[in-house]
Amino acid sequence: MRKPDLPLQYRLMVPLAVVLLAVMAYPLVFSAWISLHDYRLTRLADVQFRGWDNYLGLIENQQFWTAITNTMTFVVGAVSMEFVLGFALALLLHRVRRFQNFYRAILLSPMFITPIAVGLMFRFLLNIQLGVVPHYLNKIGIHVDWFGVDLALFSLMLIDTWQWTPFMLLMLLAGLESLPKAPFEAARVDGASAWLIFRRITLPMMRPVILVALIIRGLDAFKVFEYVYAITRGGPGDSTETILFHIYKVGFRFFRMGEAASMAYVLIVITLIIVTTLYWSMNRR
């Protein structure tokens, strides 16, 4: 009988390697290839090599930069609100002893709804004609168009905050609970007020957890798509057009796959820069 060429451990890895190559490596390489071509789904017979033209074109592309700005605003706004609210709730829950699990279950529940459903839910809740929120606000004399030009992006941030603050809460609460108790007791005996303990002991000791939570939520917020798709479709105008929705639009509505792929690669670079900076800042101390 012929001895097999590959040792057993490598043969066992083959199925996974094949799957990974098929679903990750091939699309990555293929998308890199089409980002260098004028690859349009409507003109597949006539695919031209464009070199860096797709990338250089982005510099002048106003819609692309608007989408990047919108996304950045969304990420910074939403993640900041989630962090502040999540930390406040985590500090509160950390102290609560009675019905602790009940409160946690209630507060975590928004996280378990699929984002597209959350998008649709808020689309109805906040709709200026049908929505229950504007209806009651009208009754007390407050007239707000949640999805008007001025507020639409902010409303999307609020929706994201509603859904993902629980994640921040979960991470930060786990962080708080894993901190050693002794330095806090030492600080109390040392004469520190609650605020000083928070500022000088809790925050610095929570630093690694905070950074990880911010990185995870930040990266996730970059991918915002469902709320935009379910509620505003990028409008009014391009006020809520985020980068992923813009890429989707260029690629799957206008079929300009090459240009969409180049945008996706620019997005990857931006994300890598942000993550590397955050990790560097985390390891600095």
Partner 1 sequence: MPIIKLENIQKKFGQNTVLDGIDLVFGEGEFTVLVGPSGCGKTTLLRLIAGLEQVSGGKILIGDRDVTKLEPRERDIAMVFQNYALYPHMSVYENMGFGLKARGVDTGEIKRRVMQVAEMLGIEVLLNRKPKELSGGQQQRVAIGRAVVRDPSLFLFDEPLSNLDAKLRTEMRTELLKLHRELHATTVYVTHDQEEAMGMGDCIVVLNDGVIQQRGTPREIYFHPINLLVAGFIGSPSMNMVHGQISAGTFTSLDGVIVLETKGQPDGDVILGVRPEDIHRPINLADRQHGCALSCRADVIELLGARAIITLAMSGTELKAVFEERYLKDIVEGSPLTVVLDLDRLHFFDAATGQRLNETAQGGELDGGRGANG
Minimum distance from residue 284 beta carbon to partner 1 (Å)? 12
With CB under 8 A as the contact rule, the residue among 95, 191, 280, 284 that binds partner 1 is 191
Indicate the helix (H) or strand (E) that contains 160: helix 152-178
Residues 266-285 that bind partner 1 (CB under 8 A): 285
Between 149 and 196, whose beta carbon lies closer to partner 1? 196
**Is residue 208 reached through a cis peptide bond, with omega within 30 degrees of 0 on the bond before it?**
no
With CB under 8 A as the contact rule, the residue among 190, 233, 272, 279 that binds partner 1 is 190
- Give the tokens for residue 35: 């980002």
Minimum distance from residue 205 beta carbon to partner 1 (Å)? 6
Minimum distance from residue 94 beta carbon to partner 1 (Å)? 17
For 159, residues 6+ apart whose C-beta sits below 8 A from its C-beta are 118, 119, 122, 227, 231
Kindly list the distances between the CA atom of residue 169 and the CA atoms of 143, 194, 270, in Å, as whole numbers in the listed order: 32, 20, 27
Binding window for partner 1 (CB under 8 A); candidates: 57-65, 126-134, 154-162, 196-204: 196-204
Q: Is 182 in the site for partner 1 (CB under 8 A)?
A: yes
As a whole number of angstroms, the distance between CA 238 and CA 70 comes to 9
As a whole number of angstroms, the distance between CA 149 and CA 156 comes to 12
As a whole number of angstroms, the distance between CA 32 and CA 259 comes to 11
Q: Is 176 in the site for partner 1 (CB under 8 A)?
A: no
User: Given CA atoms 133, 143, 242, 249 in this order, what sign does their dihedral have?
Assistant: positive
With CB under 8 A as the contact rule, the residue among 23, 29, 124, 185 that binds partner 1 is 185
With CB under 8 A as the contact rule, the residue among 173, 201, 230, 231 that binds partner 1 is 201
With CB under 8 A as the contact rule, the residue among 99, 200, 275, 277 that binds partner 1 is 200
For residues 30 and 261, the answer to whether their CB atoms sit within 8 Å is no
For residues 210 and 184, the answer to whether their CB atoms sit within 8 Å is no
Binding window for partner 1 (CB under 8 A); candidates: 40-48, 124-132, 157-165, 186-194: 186-194
Minimum distance from residue 181 beta carbon to partner 1 (Å)? 9
As a whole number of angstroms, the distance between CA 12 and CA 279 comes to 34
For residues 86 and 209, the answer to whether their CB atoms sit within 8 Å is no
With CB under 8 A as the contact rule, the residue among 48, 100, 193, 281 that binds partner 1 is 193
Between 41 and 186, whose beta carbon lies closer to partner 1? 186
For residues 76 and 247, the answer to whether their CB atoms sit within 8 Å is no
**SS3 state at 193:** coil
Minimum distance from residue 98 beta carbon to partner 1 (Å)? 14
Q: Is 177 in the site for partner 1 (CB under 8 A)?
A: no
Q: Is 207 in the site for partner 1 (CB under 8 A)?
A: yes
Binding window for partner 1 (CB under 8 A); candidates: 120-128, 140-148, 177-185, 257-265: 177-185
With CB under 8 A as the contact rule, the residue among 47, 158, 187, 216 that binds partner 1 is 187
> Going by DSSP bridges, is the β-strand pair 48-49/37-38 parallel, antiparallel, or unpaired?
antiparallel
Q: Is 100 in the site for partner 1 (CB under 8 A)?
A: no
What residues line the site for partner 1 (CB under 8 A)?
180, 182-183, 185-193, 196, 200-201, 204-205, 207, 285
